[in-house]
């Protein structure tokens, strides 16, 4: 389970049942999530996504005999979340036009396996590589927050290390989106992370390299809105 990197205002939580769980017909669907969660007791599982800064519950379905099913329409791959009722446990899932197989040992989403989504596979590979830099970055930030207990030399050394790790982390992100400009994952991480850490001129240069299909995504629109503020 991955830590959510944005704050969610639950007062603005919207419940919009636009998809059909436990599908009845085949014709209107272009994606399906066939899930299995072992050790579950007919609990509800929720499918959500983020719209700007609000979490929207799209649908819910009862886990029956350890299985559940979501299906619906999507044009461009998008980040969704599968969660329990109170979002105490959740996991991200890139949904695209495909049949997606989802498996977890329990509703804490341990032993998680996801197949059938190329976008999610790309996101997983990115996350694994990025975690190396993120762990270093978090470690230095935590130490700097405790710098009141360090002597001056320790503070200077940690501050220097922080800048080095920060640069390495950002360079990794920029290199990734440049080398993978046709992937929706690049647009997503530019929206979630990069646009807050680079100048607007550099941001414009980065997004100009995205594919025409990715420029139709809502994440690209969010970035444009950010630039135009």
Q: What is the pLDDT of residues 180-218, one digit of tens each?
A: 999 999 999 999 999 999 999 999 999 999 999 999 999
DSSP symbols for 86-121: TSSSEEEEEE-SSEEEEEESSTT-TT-EEES-HHHH
pTM for the structure as a whole: 0.80
Choose between 65 and 16: higher pLDDT: 65
Q: In the chain, pLDDT over 90 holds for what percent of residues?
A: 64
Choose between 166 and 154: higher pLDDT: 166
- Whether 185 and 94 have beta carbons less than 8 Å apart is answered as yes
Distance CA 184, CA 126 (A): 12
Distance CA 213, CA 84 (A): 33
Length in residues, the chain: 229
pLDDT at 20 over 50: no
Q: What are phi and psi of 178, to 5 degrees?
A: -70, -45
pLDDT at 158: 59
Q: Domain coordinates of the chain in residue numbers?
A: 10-116, 120-228
Laid out side by side, the sheet with 31-37 consists of: 20-21, 67-72, 31-37, 99-104, 113-115
Give the pLDDT confidence of 129-154 residue by residue, as tens digits: 999 888 887 777 776 666 555 555 45
* Residue whose token pair is 């360090």: 150
- Whether 224 and 206 have beta carbons less than 8 Å apart is answered as no
| H helix intervals, the chain | 118-145, 152-179, 184-192, 200-207, 218-228
CATH superfamily membership of 10-116? Carboxypeptidase-like, regulatory domain (2.60.40.1120)
pLDDT at 134: 83
Give the pLDDT confidence of 36-69 residue by residue, as tens digits: 999 888 889 999 998 877 889 999 999 999 999 9
pLDDT at 5: 43
The radius of gyration of the chain from alpha carbons, rounded to an integer in Å, stands at 20
């Amino acid at each position: 389970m991955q830590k959510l990197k944005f704050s969610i205002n639950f007062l603005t939580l919207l419940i919009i049942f636009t998809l059909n769980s436990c599908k009845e017909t085949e014709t209107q669907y272009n994606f399906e999530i066939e899930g299995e969660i072992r050790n579950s007791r007919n609990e509800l599982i929720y499918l959500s996504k983020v719209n700007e800064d609000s979490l929207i519950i799209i649908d819910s379905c009862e886990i029956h005999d350890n299985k559940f099913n979501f299906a619906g329409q999507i044009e461009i791959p998008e980040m969704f979340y599968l969660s329990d009722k109170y979002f105490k446990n959740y996991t991200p899932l890139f949904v695209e036009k495909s049949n997606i197989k989802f498996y977890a040992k329990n509703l804490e989403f341990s032993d998680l396996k996801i197949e059938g989504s190329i976008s999610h596979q790309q996101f997983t590979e990115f996350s694994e590589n990025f975690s190396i830099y993120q762990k270093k970055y978090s470690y230095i930030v935590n130490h700097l927050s405790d710098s009141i207990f360090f002597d001056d030399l320790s503070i200077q050394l940690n501050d220097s290390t922080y800048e080095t790790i920060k640069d390495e982390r950002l360079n990794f992100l920029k290199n990734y989106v440049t080398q993978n400009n046709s992937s929706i994952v690049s647009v997503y991480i530019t929206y979630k992370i990069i646009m807050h850490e680079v100048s607007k001129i550099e941001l414009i240069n980065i997004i100009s390299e995205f594919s025409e299909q990715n420029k139709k995504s809502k994440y690209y629109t969010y970035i444009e809105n950010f630039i135009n503020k």
